[in-house]
Amino acid sequence: MRRLLILALSLCALPHLGRAEEAKPVPSVPGVVVTLWPKGAMPGQAGPGPERTLPARGDHVIRLTDISEPSFTVYKAAATKPTPAVIICPGGGYGGLAYNKEGTEVAAWLNTLGITGVVLKYRVPKNQEGAYQDIQRAIRIVRQRASEWNIAPDRVGAMGFSAGGHLAARLSTLGGPATYPRIDEADDQPLRPDFALLVYPAYLDQGLPKLVDAKTAPTFLAHAEDDKGFIKGSKLYHEALVTAKVPNDFFRVATGGHGHGLRSEKEIKAWPEKGEAWLRRIGVLAPR
């Protein structure tokens, strides 16, 4: 009896994870892993390597760092006709990647919409230019091999969370020329995404609004006002999109904070529904 009582008290003392913090489903079918750069051909600075998982924090988030061999994983949507695809950039302050919460869980959600999710594992830590080369190479490979993965090459988008949102926005605004020399035929493909989804993006106020022009990818923004550190950048970026007459939607609510992914129970939790509706309005997905 005394052992049972001690066990019960120990369980009560464990931290409780609310529903908003629990891990969401990931794709049920294993993805196809594609290395971005041929051996010896990766431009820029390599990551420190070897890749490692940071210590768990009790929030069901897999955090990766020291990415020295950047890659992406393709989670194909079940469909007979070619599907849209989205390159997903997890966040982590360019120091690591919240790989499941802002990567594979998002791919699983996109799959339910009939969209192929491509989870990017870009170079970290402290390697923004390497990360930018990685996303440039990724979108080109996806377009080059679109028929292999049943993807519509003219419906390839970029999506990012926090620092990953900054990375996706860079690709959406700059669009070329590439910041690395041509390696093979994949590098003949266009760089700019056909659309972008930026969820609580970070660092957008650091020069990106000035780069927005009429060629910037149509963009969906989602942000909560109580994300005090980064909401300003989204507001400036949205204003620039409107000025340049770029098709866009800004889902802005009072509560939600930062770093929630698909796990929030606050007002921002509606962003996936709003994002889907926007994708239908701009023709990436068929109207219901």
Q: What is the tens place of the pLDDT at every residue in 128-143?
A: 999 999 999 999 999 9
Domain locations along the chain: 64-281
Q: For the segment 50-107, what is each residue's pLDDT rounded down to a tens digit? A: 999 999 899 999 999 999 999 999 999 999 999 999 999 999 999 999 999 999 999 9
Mean pLDDT throughout 179-203? 98
Q: Please, what is the Cα angle at 186 between 183 and 191, to 5 degrees?
A: 100
Residue 279 contacts residue 152 (beta carbons within 8 Å): no
Domain 64-281 has CATH 3.40.50.1820: yes
Give the H or E element holding residue 159: strand 151-161
Handedness of CA 216, 169, 257, 114 (dihedral sign): positive
* Largest pairwise CA distance in the chain: 72
Residues making up the chain, counted from first to last: 288
